[in-house]
């Protein structure tokens, strides 16, 4: 039973039969006169406004409680989702760190072999390089250690529209900064691959044996000094070294950002 109905019945019980007769007369008057109906409505409003006000307040309170409970449930659900995303981001970053270190280690090995070739070119090699050693250095120079990013969680955050779950603005900025760096690395690696395929690769394939079993090339042994003085050879060696050094710097920068991001995720 509503508040309005309860108050109406209480008032009818207090007024008694006399009030009922007046109400009946008012009904008759209402049927025959529009002003009488208006007066009765106004009288009911004056007498019943507290009940109407209570009814409105009860409705507003009920709606507010319902909305509050829904917001509370949504908040709990979003917090749970945020924890899952943060945990997955940490796992992705750990994989990225391993990949960055492998790429950096392979690049460092490449640079060491390339520097041996530069020493030969500049006549600074402490020991004369034979054909086997030179072929080994060239094979390493043509290797392409590659960083592969694991960005499944970050991509899902963006595509699903759930980035708002990451409430910490500093953490969000670090995420965008790191994955921007990984995109730059990807583009630089693609450019390096294209340069190797179209420029350095064809030149080295003409002169050097990429198969370890064919490393003992007598013709190469006889021409090492002339090859070292060849401008095209020097340029290709320098091109490979500069490209890989640029990538190594990018690996180091991304690793530093990844460490900051992991520290922020652990907080």
d(CA 240, CA 237): 5
Domain, as residue range, for 39: 3-71
Q: Do residue 22 and residue 130 come from a single domain?
A: no
**The dihedral formed by the CA atoms of 223, 225, 229 and 234, expressed in degrees to the nearest 10:** 80
> Are the CB atoms for 30 and 77 separated by under 8 Å?
no
> What does the pLDDT look like over 232-248, one tens digit per residue?
999 999 999 999 999 99
> What does the pLDDT look like over 19-39, one tens digit per residue?
555 544 444 444 444 455 567
d(CA 201, CA 81): 48
Please say which residue of 36, 71, 106 terminates a domain: 71
Q: Do residue 234 and residue 195 come from a single domain?
A: yes
Q: Do residue 98 and residue 214 come from a single domain?
A: yes
Q: Do residue 48 and residue 87 come from a single domain?
A: no
> What does the pLDDT look like over 129-138, one tens digit per residue?
777 888 889 9
Q: Do residue 96 and residue 52 come from a single domain?
A: no
Q: Do residue 13 and residue 112 come from a single domain?
A: no
Please say which residue of 39, 54, 71 terminates a domain: 71
Q: Do residue 57 and residue 102 come from a single domain?
A: no
d(CA 71, CA 59): 18
Alpha-carbon distances, residue 105 vs 157, 190, 249 (angstroms): 31, 19, 12
> Whole-model pTM?
0.72
d(CA 47, CA 224): 113
Q: Do residue 90 and residue 59 come from a single domain?
A: no
Please say which residue of 38, 71, 104 terminates a domain: 71
> Are the CB atoms for 150 and 96 separated by under 8 Å?
yes
Counted domains in the chain: 2
């Amino acid at each position: 039973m509503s508040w309005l109905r309860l108050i109406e019945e209480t008032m009818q019980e207090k007024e008694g039969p006399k009030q009922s007769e007046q109400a009946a007369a008012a009904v008759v008057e209402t049927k025959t006169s529009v002003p009488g109906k208006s007066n009765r409505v106004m009288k009911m409003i004056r007498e019943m406004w507290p009940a109407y006000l209570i009814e409105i307040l009860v409705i507003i309170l009920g709606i507010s409680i319902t909305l509050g409970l829904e917001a509370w449930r949504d908040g709990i659900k979003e917090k749970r989702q945020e924890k899952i995303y943060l945990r997955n981001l940490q796992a992705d970053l750990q994989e990225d760190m391993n990949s960055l270190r492998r790429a950096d280690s392979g690049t460092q090995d490449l640079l060491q072999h390339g520097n041996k070739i530069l020493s030969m070119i500049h006549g600074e090699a402490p020991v004369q390089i034979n054909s086997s050693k030179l072929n080994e250095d060239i094979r390493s120079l043509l290797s392409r250690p590659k960083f592969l990013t694991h960005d499944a969680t970050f991509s899902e955050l963006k595509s699903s529209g759930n980035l708002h779950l990451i409430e910490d603005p500093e953490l969000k900025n670090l995420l965008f900064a790191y994955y921007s760096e990984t995109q730059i690395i990807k583009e630089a690696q693609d450019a390096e691959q294209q340069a190797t395929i179209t420029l350095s690769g064809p030149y080295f394939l003409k002169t050097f044996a990429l198969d370890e079993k064919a490393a003992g090339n007598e013709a190469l042994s006889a021409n090492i000094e002339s090859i070292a003085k060849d401008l095209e050879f020097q340029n290709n060696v320098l091109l490979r070294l500069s490209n890989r050094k640029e990538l190594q710097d990018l690996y180091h920068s991304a690793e530093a950002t990844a460490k900051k991001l992991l520290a922020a995720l652990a907080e």
